[in-house]
């Protein structure tokens, strides 16, 4: 008679124990809606130049939740659409959204000077940062996240397109890769996951 | 005075009527341009409706406001964004064809003078039956999602 009672108590305590366990390793247990890449992609690391012409590294953005996206300013359709969607997602977050930065990394450093990038990213959102740098530095960052880009042959007028990865990599405040978003995923899922990430770690 | 104006007005209506007939029954709505800073190329979007009994294809576009307007398609196959030229975009008989962000669009290059949000830009669409359709596109800010929001 005594034993089942103990068992019942243990059963009652089980969810609590589970909750404590979850709290202990909450980094891997956040109920993300997007593709969870926690532990599968390296921490953010780069040496680039921001849209004010300043040399920056990943450490300069510690404390912010980051959205990393590769694109180029001469891309008239998909890049602006993606940045406009990210802007709307940040608007939906309200005030906490100010702790998010969109890192727009140019895969076309030949044309994307800091000045061009500055005007471009600010046309979408004040929390967007344009990053450019040497082809080698950009390639290193792109390869780090198994992203790819290819410059297509130039047209007769010298213009060219760049084929690039459409993924958006989301990092937590500690620079750890957490979820992967694509322009096709529901916006509310991104907003949901950003809210989860904004509620964790220490604010800068 | 009245005598002269009235026939002129009538002639004008007649010409307008003929022009409409020559478009192959294609009408346009939700026409807008996403304006980007500086001299960057812009994307233009529109919904085309064909009320005719035969399919019509959009083959070209031109505007005095831009040096060049090209018909493109964005695709996202395999997680990769790429842009390809489109020679002809069919609008089915009694159907619609949508040019929208992330898909078919007109790429506008070499703006003759800066286009600002709120401006109206006339773009003439050309179809494979030889007809043309002038459409007024509303310029929207970079971070707009469509012709309204």
CA A77/CA B113 separation, integer angstroms: 21
Cβ-defined contact of A80 to B43 (cutoff 8 Å)? yes
Mean pLDDT calculated for residue range A39-60: 97
Q: What is the pLDDT of residues B88-146, one digit of tens each?
A: 999 999 999 999 999 999 999 999 999 999 999 999 999 999 999 999 999 999 999 99
Question: What is the pLDDT at residue A40?
Answer: 93
Tell whether the model's pLDDT for residue A47 goes beyond 80: yes
Q: Other CB atoms closer than 10 Å to residue B39's CB: what's the count?
A: 11
Tell whether the model's pLDDT for residue A12 goes beyond 60: no
Triad A142, A147, A149: Cα angle to 5°: 80
Question: What is the pLDDT at residue A28?
Answer: 55
| ipTM higher than threshold 0.95 | no
Residues of B in contact with A81 (CB under 8 A): 101-102, 145
| Least-confidence region, from A156-160, B3-7, B105-109, B135-139 | B3-7
Q: Other CB atoms closer than 10 Å to residue A128's CB: what's the count?
A: 24
CA B124/CA A101 separation, integer angstroms: 40
Question: What is the pLDDT at residue B124?
Answer: 97
Most distant pair of Cα atoms in chain B: their distance: 68
Question: What is the pLDDT at residue A64?
Answer: 97
The two tokens of residue B27 are: 């009408």
- % of chain A residues with pLDDT over 90: 70
Question: What is the pLDDT at residue B79?
Answer: 78
User: DSSP strand E in chain A: where?
Assistant: 35-36, 47-50, 55-57, 65-71, 100-106, 128-132, 149-151, 162-165, 168-171, 177-181
Alpha carbon of B70: minimum distance to chain A alpha carbons (Å): 11
Burial class (CB in 10 A: 0-12, 13-18, 19+), B22: middle
Is the pLDDT higher at A13 or at A159?
A159
CA nearest to A88, candidates B144, B35, B116, B81: B144
* CA distance between the termini of chain B: 47
Mutate to test the interface with B, among A81, A142, A146, A159 (most CBs of B within 10 A): A81
Q: Does pTM surpass 0.80?
A: yes
Alpha carbon of B14: minimum distance to chain A alpha carbons (Å): 39
* CA distance between the termini of chain A: 56
């Amino acid at each position: 008679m005594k034993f089942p009672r103990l068992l019942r108590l243990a059963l009652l305590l089980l969810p609590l124990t589970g909750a404590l366990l979850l709290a202990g390793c909450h980094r891997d247990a956040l109920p993300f809606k997007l593709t969870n890449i926690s532990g599968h992609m390296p921490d953010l690391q780069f040496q680039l130049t921001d849209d004010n012409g300043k040399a920056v590294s990943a450490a300069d953005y510690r404390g912010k939740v980051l959205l990393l996206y590769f694109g180029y300013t001469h891309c008239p359709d998909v890049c602006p659409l993606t940045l406009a969607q990210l802007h709307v997602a940040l608007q939906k977050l309200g005030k906490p959204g100010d702790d998010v930065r969109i890192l727009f990394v140019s895969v076309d450093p030949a044309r994307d000077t800091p000045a061009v990038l500055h005007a471009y990213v600010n046309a979408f959102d004040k929390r967007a940062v344009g990053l450019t740098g040497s082809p080698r530095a950009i390639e290193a960052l792109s390869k780090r996240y198994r992203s790819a880009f290819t410059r297509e042959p130039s047209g007769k007028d010298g213009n060219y397109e760049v084929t690039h990865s459409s993924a958006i990599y989301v990092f937590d405040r500690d620079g750890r890769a957490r979820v992967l978003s694509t322009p096709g995923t529901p916006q509310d899922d991104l907003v949901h996951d950003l809210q989860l990430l904004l509620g964790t770690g220490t604010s800068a | 005075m009245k005598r002269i104006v009235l026939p002129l007005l009538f002639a004008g209506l007649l010409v307008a009527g003929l022009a409409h007939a020559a478009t192959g029954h294609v009408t346009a709505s939700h026409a807008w341009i996403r304006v980007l800073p500086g001299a960057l190329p812009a994307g233009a979007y529109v919904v085309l409706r064909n009320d005719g009994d035969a399919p019509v294809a959009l083959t070209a576009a031109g505007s005095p406001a831009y040096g060049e307007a090209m018909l493109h398609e964005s695709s996202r196959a395999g997680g990769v964004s790429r842009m390809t030229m489109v020679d002809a975009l069919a609008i089915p008989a009694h159907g619609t064809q949508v040019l929208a962000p992330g898909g078919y669009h007109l790429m506008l290059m070499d703006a003759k003078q800066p286009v600002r949000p709120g401006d109206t830009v006339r773009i003439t669409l050309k179809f494979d039956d030889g007809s043309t359709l002038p459409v007024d596109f509303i310029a929207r800010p970079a971070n707009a999602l469509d012709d309204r929001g």
